[in-house]
Amino acid sequence: MVVEKTTKRFLHTLAYRRFRSRERVLVCPSYCRTPDSHFVMNRSGELAQIASPGKTFGYDVEIYVGLARFMEFRQREEIQNELQSKYGIDISSGQISDMVRRFLDHLETLHIQRADALAREMTSNGGYVLHMDSTTEQGQGTMLVLYSSWDNWVLGAWKIKSESTVEVKPRIKEIVSRFGEPQAMMSDLGSAMKNATVDAVAEMDSLPHVFLCQFHFLRDIGKDLLSDSYGLLRDMVGKSGITEKLRQFCKYQGQKIIHFGVSISN
């Protein structure tokens, strides 16, 4: 291997703070290529463990930002101020947003790479029960989550166009191919989710049991039994003019809960 070039860049990390790296890039003197037509090249493995190629901030900064955003529910400006005050790292809010997306991409990649280890752990605990549900956000598509209830692990999550059999069934098959067949499956009463579950189970060797969510079942019964009374109450509330006051009350209580949670965490 011969030196093709030497690259320099400034890096910001929690472990080493701000420093300038100097990397020698080595190539095959005959310019041999890999099967995918790239030149055979040797770069610093140590530097690759510190930061992504071409990036200014190290992986430890990315992990700090990701955990602060998703585990502590901090806003971009809060994270920005913390990195400056604790580590002397200047970072823009836009860079934090980019780093949050990279954190999720890397977390998903790690999750997939460790699928075999996760599957072995679930098997040692007697397998897993696969729960499925989705939530629709107005104008933002549908979030589908497949979840192992015994382990409290999310096995897969996707943004899908709508809750339909065509969208849900391939996701179930993906999880089964990655983690093995479940001991049982839990679905809500929606026709799309039920059909996707039954179709997916029909293609499995173990034919796991399919259960329906008791909460959804009782809620639907409640609607049937109390729909008339609920309609009467709704009309009375609407005519009384207190709807806006109730909204303001709920908003006020929600803000109190948020402030209380912040004071406890601090």
pTM: 0.71
Q: Report d(CA 216, CA 189) in Å as an integer.
A: 7
E strand intervals along the chain: 2-13, 17-27, 41-42, 129-136, 142-148, 153-160, 184-187, 209-212
Structure confidence by residue, pLDDT tens digits, 154-181: 999 999 988 889 999 999 999 999 999 9
What confidence score (pLDDT) does residue 125 get? 92
Share of the chain above pLDDT 90, in %: 58
Instruction: Give the SS3 label for residue 21.
Output: strand
**What pLDDT is stored for residue 51 in this prediction?**
94
**Domain 115-212 belongs to what architecture?**
2-Layer Sandwich (3.30)
Q: What value does the mean pLDDT of the chain take?
A: 88
Q: Are 147 and 153 in contact (CB under 8 A)?
A: yes
Query: How does pLDDT run across 37-79, given as a tens digit for each residue?
Result: 888 888 898 999 999 988 999 999 999 999 999 999 999 999 9
Per-residue confidence (pLDDT) for residue 264, from 0 to 100:
47
The confidence score (pLDDT) of residue 127 equals: 95
Q: Is the pLDDT of residue 263 over 60?
A: no
Please state the rounded mean pLDDT for residues 218-242: 81
Tens of pLDDT along 76-119? 999 999 999 999 999 999 999 999 999 999 999 999 999 999 99
- The encoded tokens of residue 10 equal 């400034």
Confidence of residue 256 (pLDDT cuts 50, 70, 90): confident
- Residue 189 confidence class, pLDDT cut points 50, 70, 90: confident
Domain ranges of the chain: 2-112, 115-212, 216-265
Place of tokens 């995918």: 36
Could you tell me which residues come within 8 angstroms of residue 60 by beta carbon, excluding any fewer than 6 positions away? 13, 14, 15
Question: 260 pLDDT band (50/70/90 cuts)?
Answer: low
- Listed in sequence order, the residues at least 6 apart from 37 whose beta carbon sits closer than 8 Å to its beta carbon are none
Contact status, residue 220 vs residue 213, Cβ threshold 8 Å = no
Higher pLDDT, 257 or 76: 76
- pLDDT value at position 137? 62
**Single-letter residue type at 170:** P
Residue entry with tokens 């690259």: 7
Of 236 and 260, more confident: 236
* Contact indicator for 171, 156 with CB cutoff of 8 Å: yes
